[in-house]
Amino acid sequence: MRPLSPDPVAVADRSPYLVQERGELSCAVTDALRSGGLPRWAPGAVLEADVWGEDLQLALYLLYELPYRGFDGVDDAREWDPELLRLRQAMEARFLEALRTELFDAPRTVEDAFAPLLVEPVDLSGSLSHHLETEGQLWQLREYAALRSLYHLKEADPHAWVIPRLTGRAKAAMVAIEYDEFGAGHADRIHAQLFADLMTDLGLDPTYGRYLDQAPAPLLAGVNLMSLFGLHRALRGALVGHFACVEVTSSPGSRRLAKAMRRCGAGSAAEHFYAEHVEADAVHEQVVRHEVIGGLLVDEPGLEEDIAFGCAATVRLEDRLASHIREAWDHERSALRTPLHQP
């Protein structure tokens, strides 16, 4: 497919644009950011909102984006605006409460949380990556990449926040993994850049935040989870659990997705992104389990339940997103809020 951008490093560009609101809360955020004024929402709006719905998840995503790239035309100082933070805190509390309620019977130990993830399932019929590998179509691969771009174009950024909150073995191992994620000193090897190259191969726009307006609530919730854990020192154990879950499950899925890209003729860069993760994440899995988690538990054994919770929450939201995507595709519908233009 024809590249959309001649720039070999397409990730480090302008801040994204604000998008259309999806309800009262996201309207309060977008209006405040556009005008420079205070966010205005009705008393009870946060408690009455669907915690898994488009409005609350978009509003939370927009507020979480301020510590990352911000938004075009929005003052960077709004990241610390007390009223925006008050709204964010109220939505975070709902989000975290909903997660803990859903996962009331989830494993409480690291061993119990990760044991099911270390064994490849015999039945892969419900696996999204298996579907893409065996029967996925090019339009589905393009949708999958557009959806995942909200995470992969900031890959490793949310997890970097945990580094100053770790010590000793855990910190050294986490830095080693993140160094690899950030290209080991080479800008063109940063994993976010490799994903931008994948998007170009698929005829997608690799601009950071380009597909936010089309991203459904289940996708936003998964990205918000990383930011929730990353922005709170009190949730550092959950962030490590999230990171470990991603690394443990990445290699088998990436192998299937690399085959899917090859089978559909997506392009060499598209295949390379996932082929790179097959090898890299197989190594990262061992380091994160034995050194990051192992070191953290030596230093702070009381964080074990938080690590297990971070893993369980990641699995739950990934399953919810996969169900959303498969249900749409099984009915020949787009999994995006509006379909992509065909190249």
Same domain? For 193 and 98 the reply is: no
Q: Would you say residue 18 lies in a domain?
A: no
Please compute the mean of the pLDDT values over residues 281-300 and round it to a whole number. 90
Looking at residue 36, the DSSP 8-state letter turns out to be S
**How many structural domains are present in the chain?**
2
Q: How confident is the model at residue 126 (pLDDT cuts 50, 70, 90)?
A: confident
**pLDDT higher than 50, residue 314:** yes
> Which region holds residue 321: left if phi is over 0, alpha if psi is between -120 and 50, else beta?
alpha
**pLDDT higher than 60, residue 5:** no
Q: Would you say residue 13 lies in a domain?
A: no
For position 122, what pLDDT does the model report? 55
Q: For 178-182, which contacts have Cβ atoms below 8 Å and span 24 or more sequence positions?
A: 180/280, 180/284, 181/155, 181/156, 182/156
Please compute the mean of the pLDDT values over residues 261-285 and round it to a whole number. 86
Would you state the structure tokens that stand for residue 114, as one six-digit string?
Answer: 């990760």
Mean pLDDT of the chain: 93
Which residues are within 8 A (CB) of 191 and not within 5 positions of it... i.e. 6 or more apart?
152, 155, 156, 181, 182, 183, 273, 276, 277
**pLDDT higher than 80, residue 2:** no
Q: Would you say residue 48 lies in a domain?
A: yes
For position 21, what pLDDT does the model report? 97
Q: How confident is the model at residue 286 (pLDDT cuts 50, 70, 90)?
A: confident
How far, in Å, are 46, 52, 136 from residue 56 at the CA level?
Answer: 8, 7, 31
**pLDDT higher than 90, residue 183:** yes
Q: Would you say residue 183 lies in a domain?
A: yes
- What pTM did the predictor assign? 0.94
How many C-beta atoms surround the C-beta of residue 332 within 10 A? 6
Q: Would you say residue 56 lies in a domain?
A: yes
For position 225, what pLDDT does the model report? 98
Q: Would you say residue 11 lies in a domain?
A: no
How many C-beta atoms surround the C-beta of residue 164 within 10 A? 10
Same domain? For 177 and 115 the reply is: yes
Q: Which domain, by its residues, includes 93?
A: 24-102
For position 9, what pLDDT does the model report? 47
**pLDDT higher than 50, residue 212:** yes
